[in-house]
Amino acid sequence: MSANLRVGFIGAGKMASALAQGFIKGQAVKCASHVSASCPIADKHLLEHMKQMGCQTFHCNKELMDCSDVVILAVKPQIMPLVLPDIKSLVASKLMVSIAAGVQLAQLQADLNPDSKIVRLMPNTPCIVREGVSVFCSGPQVTPQDNATVKQLFGTVGQIDEVKESMIDAVTGVSGSGPAYMYLIIEAMADGGVKQGLPRDLAYKLAAQTMVGAGRMVLDTHTHPAVLKDEVCSPGGTTITALDMLEKSGLRTSIMQAVEAATKRCTQ
């Protein structure tokens, strides 16, 4: 990856902002001015955070393309058909990375041109604190050097893995949408703590750090979550009693159904 790599975002929503902040913090780019973003004038308020970070901003996608080596398509899936014709003639030498849920490589290739170097990637918002997880697949024109650039760039904001495209929608259901599931659980745990008399700030801190620690245990120990769960459960103790209640309320099934619903939504 070039030390002078310039990254542009077509679209300036929350995911683009999270990635931009993560790239700058992780020193994936030399300076904030090597990151740029564009959006229509009607959505100019979306560029304010980018400006505050020191990024370049545009209302013209062609201007952004001119000053970017890697272009991240960060618009909603339904907006993609409006954006691609505008940049079709400019993509030949660019590495294009789409983070639009459900938009397949073949569709992107057809709307741009057969020689386009296109990567389909699904990140998540914890990239902003460099604890994200991204998964990608590459089009036929993408070179090993391009793949290395993607891995190095997104590796600065968390973990990254290459998979078959057939897995990307399921990835969206697990990790793309997953932070929202985790926030809901954190909020519920904190509310439970407040109900039992804990101060609100302490309850959120305990719940959030417990989730961080549990995740780190799974990743660092390479131990099955069921084994780690059993290690916390003493016979007749508080934890197994709590887990009994969670099983009765259908937590496990609800989360599995949430992943399934998010995955299916990618194809609708």
Has 10 been labeled as part of a binding site?
Answer: yes
Which phi-psi region, left, alpha or beta, contains residue 197 (left: φ > 0; alpha: ψ -120 to 50)? left
CB 215 within 8 A of CB 209: no
Exposed, middle or buried: residue 162 (CB in 10 Å: 0-12, 13-18, 19+)? middle
Has 44 been labeled as part of a binding site?
Answer: no
The CA-to-CA distance between both ends of the chain, in Å, stands at 36
Has 77 been labeled as part of a binding site?
Answer: yes
Has 195 been labeled as part of a binding site?
Answer: no
237 three-state secondary structure: coil
Q: What is the DSSP string of 86-155?
A: HHGGG-TTSEEEE--TT--HHHHHHHS-TT-EEEEEE--GGGGGT-EEEEEEE-TT--HHHHHHHHHHHH
Has 12 been labeled as part of a binding site?
Answer: yes
Cα(125)–Cα(85) distance, rounded to whole angstroms?
28
For residue 125, the Cα-to-chain-centroid distance in whole angstroms is 5
Question: Given the structure tokens 């020193």, which residue do they identify?
Answer: 27
For residue 118, what are the β-bridge partners? 96
113: which 2 tokens?
A: 């041109």
CB 156 within 8 A of CB 22: yes
Binding-site members for NADPH are 61
Binding-site members for NADP(+) are 10-15, 74-77
Binding-site members are 10-15, 61, 74-77
